[in-house]
Structure 1
């Protein structure tokens, strides 16, 4: 018996994969390839490697690092994976988080699977953003979109409306869109009709008090473009 080899196997330890993932990965919309990639990522995280490279992950899969990067991006877009900021003794770094995956599995286990129309709407939001920006979204931008839907509870419909506001205003950036969504949430706006009425109210106020409006910079100026009539 090669004792050194056996010791190396013991020192590598083992990785516990939740049975919920094995039993329900297909129920939450994952295929076998995506599930295995998440299991490999789970293995890296368990061993303290919080942000493995695409090459590290691809070395354990049957596809190259480019395909691995694309698959990770889509998993982030669809809300199975997130990238978080870590602060270790004032040293900031990025780390993958599987919390979105575990939350989906728990909702599935308790019979609260997200319905198909809702998932389709979320996928459409990512596609629309990539079309308007003319490029694939970065991991941080994908995480921002997921945060708007999962944490801030903005509907895909409102996020699309805020995107259109940014496009017609010539301010196509995530910071401006976030300001629009923040303003709508602060004012209790939940539908596009309410957003349109709110925009008309602000424009009327700006016309009556143009000098005062220039001093208020925390509310994005609403364009007069009729984006509400162009739902997609």
Structure 2
């Protein structure tokens, strides 16, 4: 018992600012990102290098997952890699702290949710309902890229989800392929997609059908010859 207590005390402690605990999601972190931040902080405070392989073993995930998350943090300007000369590199969260100090990305708990955030939640809710499960952190990151990098319309996202489900393809990659294809064909609204589908099926609109019927009626009318008075 004494040996365990001694080992427990020697392991030390890792502290975290309350502002990060309160606003980490507003800043772009999810729960796994927060744990990753704590693991990096712990290792570097101990003087060790935060090796992705070591962190992956601790978090019971693949090394690629950790590397992808680190890249995402850098892309979101929440972290940067700083060279320490002959001692290797260090993950520096100074950009995260600067954002906290400046109040960027932070909002009161009772603040009104913006339209953009509401759209994201609706898309995520639709995906989770169709998939029958919660989205993984990587899947949530993909959805965020649809909004922030690809700038897909939320209505088109929902339509693409429905299209994928109808084809029994519950995959974000499949849904993204649909969105890219629609974007390439300049289909920017659900109505445009519907018209494109009907054209492929050879559907003729009723207004066009009426015009065709009118033309046929005119074609069936007998031709009345015209005589000149001189010919009589």
TM-score range, shorter chain: 0.3 to 0.5
The structure with higher relative contact order (CA 8 Å, sep 6+) is 1
Structure of greater Rg: 2
Which TM-score applies when normalising by structure 2? 0.48
Which TM-score applies when normalising by structure 1? 0.48
